[in-house]
Each structure stands twice: as structure tokens, then as C-alpha cells.
Structure 1
């Protein structure tokens, strides 16, 4: 997600700094960006050379490199405690007086991140969808303390700057899309878990019978089963509705490291894993 956000920002002509946790992660990030931009160039999707766009992106491992940024988008692991600690650091590091501090979280309430800073009025959710260069939707999620100016500046950056389409959600776990999508995916997992139908037939049924572009179990593999579980837990914590509870099979698969496409195996097997 972070690489995708960096790519669309650089393709829009912006100067981008990406901070990774380790040198190895930084190297992998550069590799992903190079591959994605080269594919886009081969398909005629870029306005300029891939190398020129890549040159706008500086991948580093030092958070201090974000000090002068006007927009900072956090896209780390979906863990509220880890995100809270990062926002505390960003609040101390980012010196641009009107900087937007944004989270790409798919489920964690923005208020929990804003209140640990000295500028909660400048903290907002800007939730992109994967793959970022392809999908046009972005959710804007202001908290109760986010200023109207911050929301409008975020909307302008997303729509006028990046060319995306924005919708606005109240600061509730799951926001608009995942509050609708995750119960649907969890229902498919429960159907598979019960032996009601195979993974292939569940997915084929929704693709061929409901004109979905992808079945719910294949989609869960694409999202990542760990992320699916984290969003479900966030929704259940907030609303206490049974439909949001992560099924036992999902919890066991995450415990086993079967996370979907990124691990090579989930409800399906990928890349010979």
C-alpha cells in the first residue's frame, strides 16, 4: 500500500519521501516501485518515462526525513498500538505548520490517532484501496476533532492532486467500504468452514451469479487474511455484532501464517507455494 501511494503521488508530479523500517525493506520498496512503473510504461499508462517518475521518490529509513512534508500518510501494520506510537513520533518530527497527518488505516478510528498528537485538528483518515495505482476510490475520514479545513485540503489533494475519487465517512470502525465488505467476506469464510461448498464454488457463484469481478475468498487472499482478521476485530470491538466476529478458521489460518497471496497460500495456493 505504501509503495502504491508513493507511486501515484510521484506520477502526479509530487516530490515523495518513503520511510521504511529497515534497509532491506527499503530495497524491496524500490524494487516494487521500479517493477510497477516499468509495467505501466510498457502499457502506455505513464505521462513520462518511468525513470523520471522514480527519481521523484526518495526511499529512506529515517523518520526525520519527513520533517518538511506537507502531507504525511501512514501505511504501516494494522495495529492500533503501533500506529499510536508512530503518530506520537510524527507529531514531534513534522515541522510544517499546516501539515496533514493522515492514516491509511482500513478500520482503526482516527480519533485514537489524533488525540495522541498536539494537533488532532490536522489528523485525518485517507484510506486508499489496493492496488492503489488502479483503484480510483479513496475514503476521507475526519474525526470529531478534525477541522473542516483539513478535510477540504485532503479532498483537494486526493481529487485535484492525485486524480482519485473521494467519498467521506464518519469516524466509525470499517468506514464505508469495509463495514459493508468484511461481513460479506466473513460470511463466505463461514460457509466454506462449515463444508457448505468449496472455495472455488463459493467464488464462482458470486462471479458468475452476481457479476462480482472476484469471489470473496479470492478477495480475502488479495487483501491479506491478517488484514481481514484485524478489520473484523476492529469492527467487532466497536459494534459487538456477531456478523463482525472473525470465524475460527480465519484465526487459525492467520496463526499458521497462511495469509493469502503475500505468503503464497490462503484459501488458494499461489506461485507454487
Structure 2
């Protein structure tokens, strides 16, 4: 068991302490599971995700020297099920102008949407935006990639970021600042990454979209999603990441894991079981 974690919850947030760093999961939105979202190589059958809402989380990371967001959710008008990031930040005593950095796991709409308004203007104008350089090369190099309809929808959606590209720094894997490391986890998109938070010997990996449908993908790591840019590489990354996490006993949290969001993996048959941290 993680020796010293302390967990605090509200209706839409869950916070833990990683050494001297505080990490708060914010459930920013829910989205309907798209029909046909789950896929498997070789034409093997996969279950249809039941009609339900998939959580979209982003994370507030408070270090001694920075106030960082990991992803910004779907954005849009605040409702019961969407666009709650700025409001939840306010309930945590933070303002948009207090955010020093926004680190993106990748540039799909449910990860960057809360960073811009409907006109494509920045909602965090004082922040430095950071993403893996392969996201830039894939999305903004001027070439239109080949891909299925789901991949192309995400490519086209990312063009909404054109107006805020001057805010971006495009980076390679490694230490972004004390306590936060970018870990390249490619396949879902070319630059898809996680962020490892570490302080005083404690760690958590915020792993983005390693899974979208927790009820299925933990137990069967061969299941991917239709909007994986490179399905084979995404599967390889999913398998190797889960194996290492289970072996190391590391805490993880993802964009689409229901609150409390933070947990560990245990080997279960040919797959894994996600065990949420207890309050």
C-alpha cells in the first residue's frame, strides 16, 4: 500500500498528496461512449460499450514553484455534465490566470477543449502550453494524414488550436520541471504522453488515454479504440505500461477512470484489475 498518501474528495474532485506535491483529479465532463468505439486487431469481436457516460478528467498539480494543469477537458458551456474546469478551479481557490503551465497528454478535443473558448482564444493566457513535439509534427506540419473517419475528426478538431500555437512549447520526453516528467506513451497519437509526478520517493503516473473503457480494457489489453492513430503501437504501449505499473505497484490515474481516479493495477487472469485508492 502507498505509505503516506492522503486523499480528499468532493463531488467532482479527488486530491492526493505525492510527497510535497498535491495532485487533484477534476472530473470536467462526461461524454457518451461512441458506438463502435472499441476495436480489436484481426477482426476479433469486442463488446459494445453500454449506453453510459465516460468520465473526462483533468489534473491540477501544485508544486512549490508552479501551478500546472494536465489537460483541460472537453470545454464548452458549463452544465451538469460538461465544461466544469474553471468553476472547479474556483472552488479550489484558483483562477485561470494563476495557472503557470498546461501540459497536454495529447491534442484530442477532450484534452484541449477547455483551454480555448468558442472563438479559439486562450482561457489561460498567462500559461505556457506544453506537448510532445510529435503532436506538432502530426497535426500542424501542413500535411493531412491518412486515417479512418474517427482519426480525421480528431485531426480536424485540433485545427481549432491554430490561434494559440504561439503559447506552445514542443518538447521531448524528460523532466519538465522539478517533480514532473513527461513519459512518451505513443500509439493513441504520435505524441501521446503521460506525466510522472514524483516527490519524496512517492510517484503517480497520469497516463492520459492508455484506457478509454476501463470495464473492458483492463481485463483485455488487446482492445483499443477506433481513433487510435497507430493501433498496433497503441496496443504495445498499453500492454507494456500496464505490465510495468503492476510490477512496480505504482499509482496511476487516467483521463477516463471514474473518481476517485487514482489506483493501482493487480494481475487478474490474462489481464489486470484496477483497484481504486480508498478514502
TM-score category (smaller protein): 0.3 to 0.5
**Structure with bigger RCO (C-alpha 8 Å, 6+ apart):** 2
Query: Is the helix fraction higher in 1 or 2?
Result: 1
TM-score (norm 2): 0.32
TM-score (norm 1): 0.32
Query: Is the strand fraction higher in 1 or 2?
Result: 2
